[in-house]
């Protein structure tokens, strides 16, 4: 076991290349424990903080190759794909220190059939559900359980595998799209979870765990739908803010007792202790908080707002989690002030969109007091910054309260331009109602 406590000697690798990884890079770079930062694959934003190296997120060997060649001391993994593919197992086998769950533990996100079975076994509150692998049984279930229902591809589907069906016709179409002949969700949709529709407000809770102990980070609220008023298709997330005023101390205690602790204990009992960030999406229903989903990593864009609110040294925290050494950290460190992110996306996202549009105004936005994070950008041959993804940039602001924070973020955002840019105008409005 490698320990680097209080020694600024570490070369740190961040795995991933989106807005979450740019946020991780900024936070890690500020740590006195970080001597040198590299990213794989990174993006033009992380390139300003450390060198980027190519790597294939679905091929853990390509990530290990970077860590070995660069003599990396500590690796922090952003996205779920390498975690579910076993990057942590591979690093452990090679004696390298890495933050994140093993493939077996990452199944909490990688397989909704597994996560639902765990919640059932360890009595974690969630929507009533049933799992299917054949079309006829799933259709028969829909006959007996009319809409609204939610039909979910069990495997990873880039955040697009949960279909909320308000009519029976939609539910039948959803099941057919997964279990029917053309299997539109590929392998991910060959096992389908059909669950009860839950009504309520959603929030995201983050617990960094060493397998046994855990430390809570700020709660957050994401905005998954593409358009204002929570209209339009689900996206990876169009904006977020933290902390979520909805999540008061009483609710947080209830989430710890009824959800986080039984989940961590359950994973220990199964022999697959959960080391990493356990990100729990909850629905605050009339019967109390229930799990919508588990994720095995930091949220994107939630990481961009919870990381700057953590007052301690994030590298020390993640290193202690990786080294089974979290017991010395307070479980619920205080969170002061507020942070928000508004995502600038390419017109058409989450569907088809045009890329390679020139971006201007980042300097002016940052001069006004915000931080601009790269999510889907690239450098053109002439060195100009171009859009290169659905979610292109995130404008992050921090201030003493949510209202001031949102004003700062939106004022900065007005400075940034690229052709076909769109963003939600109502990020954080739900939070202002709950203040």
Interaction of residue 202 with ligand GLY, rule CB under 6 A: no
User: Which among 163, 225, 221 has a CA at the least distance from the CA of 195?
Assistant: 163
Say how many C-beta atoms besides its own lie within 10 A of residue 188's C-beta.
Answer: 22
Considering the complex, state which of residue 195 and residue 210 has its C-beta at the smaller distance from ligand AMP: 195
Min dist CB 159 to ligand GLY, Å, is: 5
Question: Any bridge partners for residue 280, and if so which?
Answer: 205, 294
Stretch that binds ligand AMP, among 56-64, 78-86, 189-197, 411-419 (CB under 6 A): 189-197
Considering the complex, state which of residue 164 and residue 355 has its C-beta at the smaller distance from ligand AMP: 164
User: C-alpha 203: how far from its chain's center?
Assistant: 12
User: C-alpha 258: how far from its chain's center?
Assistant: 22
Considering the complex, state which of residue 17 and residue 237 has its C-beta at the smaller distance from ligand GLY: 237
What whole-number distance in Å separates Cα of residue 309 and Cα of residue 10?
A: 23
- From residue 407, how far is each of 66, 174, 420, 426 by CA, in Å? 41, 40, 23, 11
Q: Which residue is nearest to ligand AMP (CB)?
A: 162
Q: Which does 300 bind (CB under 5 to 8 A by kind): ligand GLY, ligand AMP, none?
A: ligand GLY
Min dist CB 94 to ligand AMP, Å, is: 32
Interaction of residue 157 with ligand GLY, rule CB under 6 A: no
DSSP strand pairing (51-52 vs 34-41): parallel
Interaction of residue 293 with ligand AMP, rule CB under 6 A: yes
Stretch that binds ligand AMP, among 17-25, 62-70, 137-145, 192-200 (CB under 6 A): 192-200
235: Cβ–Cβ under 8 A, 6 or more apart, which residues?
159, 224, 225, 226, 345, 349, 350, 390, 391
Interaction of residue 295 with ligand GLY, rule CB under 6 A: yes
3-state secondary structure of 180: coil
What whole-number distance in Å separates Cα of residue 16 and Cα of residue 14?
A: 6
User: Which among 198, 388, 220 has a CA at the least distance from the CA of 289?
Assistant: 198
Stretch that binds ligand GLY, among 31-39, 298-306, 307-315, 342-350 (CB under 6 A): 298-306
Token pair of 153, please?
Answer: 């591809």
Considering the complex, state which of residue 71 and residue 286 has its C-beta at the smaller distance from ligand AMP: 286
Q: Which does 416 bind (CB under 5 to 8 A by kind): ligand AMP, ligand GLY, none?
A: none
Min dist CB 206 to ligand GLY, Å, is: 11
Considering the complex, state which of residue 50 and residue 394 has its C-beta at the smaller distance from ligand GLY: 394
Q: Between 225 and 264, how does the x/- string for binding to ligand GLY read (CB under 6 A)?
A: ------------x---------------------------
What whole-number distance in Å separates Cα of residue 203 and Cα of residue 241?
A: 10
Interaction of residue 98 with ligand AMP, rule CB under 6 A: no
Tell me how many degrees the CA angle 284-287-292 measures, rounded to the nearest 5. Answer: 45
Give the chain's length.
Answer: 435
Among 127, 282, 388, 413, binds ligand AMP (CB under 6 A): 127
Asked if 316 and 384 count as a contact pair (C-beta separation under 8 A), the reply is: no
- From residue 189, how far is each of 43, 185, 198 by CA, in Å? 31, 5, 21
Min dist CB 53 to ligand AMP, Å, is: 31
Residues within the interface to ligand AMP (CB under 6 A): 127, 150, 152, 161-162, 164, 195-198, 202, 224, 234, 281, 292-293
**Site of interaction with ligand GLY (CB under 6 A):** 159, 222, 237, 295, 299-300, 302
């Amino acid at each position: 076991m490698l320990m680097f406590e209080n020694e600024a000697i570490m070369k740190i690798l961040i795995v991933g290349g989106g807005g979450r990884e740019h946020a991780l890079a900024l936070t890690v770079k500020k740590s006195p424990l970080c001597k040198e930062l590299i990213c794989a694959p990174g993006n033009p934003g992380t390139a300003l903080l450390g060198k980027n190296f190519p790597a294939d997120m679905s091929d853990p060997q390509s990530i290990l190759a970077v860590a070995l060649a660069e003599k990396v001391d500590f690796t922090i993994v952003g996205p779920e794909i390498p975690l579910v593919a076993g990057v942590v197992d591979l690093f452990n086998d090679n004696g390298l220190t890495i933050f994140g769950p093993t493939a077996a533990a990452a199944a909490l996100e990688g397989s909704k059939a597994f996560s639902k079975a765990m919640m059932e076994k360890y009595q974690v509150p969630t929507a009533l559900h049933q799992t299917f692998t054949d079309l006829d049984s799933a259709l028969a279930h829909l006959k007996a359980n009319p809409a609204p229902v939610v039909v979910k591809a069990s495997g990873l589907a880039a955040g697009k595998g949960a279909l909320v069906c308000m009519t029976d016709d939609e539910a039948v179409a959803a099941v057919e799209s997964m279990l029917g002949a053309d299997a539109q969700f590929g392998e991910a949709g060959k096992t389908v979870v059909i669950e009860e529709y839950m009504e309520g407000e959603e929030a995201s809770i983050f617990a960094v765990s060493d397998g046994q102990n855990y430390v809570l980070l700020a709660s957050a609220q994401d905005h998954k739908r593409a358009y204002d008023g929570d209209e339009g298709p689900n996206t990876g997330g169009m904006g977020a803010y933290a902390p979520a005023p909805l999540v008061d101390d009483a609710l947080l205690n209830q989430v710890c007792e009824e959800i986080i602790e039984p989940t961590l204990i359950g994973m220990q009992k199964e022999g697959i202790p959960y080391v990493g960030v356990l990100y729990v999406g909850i629905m605050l229903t009339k019967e109390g908080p229930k799990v919508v989903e588990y994720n095995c990593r930091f949220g994107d864009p939630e990481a961009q707002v919870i990381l700057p609110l953590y007052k301690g040294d994030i590298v020390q925290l993640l290193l202690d989690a990786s080294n089974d050494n979290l017991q010395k950290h307070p479980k619920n460190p205080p969170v002061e002030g507020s942070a928000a992110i508004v995502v600038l996306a390419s017109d058409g996202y989450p569907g088809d969109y045009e890329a390679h549009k020139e971006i201007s105004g980042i300097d002016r936005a940052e001069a006004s007091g915000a931080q601009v994070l790269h999510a889907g950008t690239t450098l053109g041959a002439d060195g100009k910054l171009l859009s290169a993804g659905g979610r292109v940039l995130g404008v992050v602001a921090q201030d003493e309260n949510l209202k001031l924070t949102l004003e700062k973020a939106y004022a900065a955002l007005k400075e940034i331009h690229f052709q076909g840019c769109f963003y939600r105008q109502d990020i954080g409005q739900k939070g202002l109602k709950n203040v």
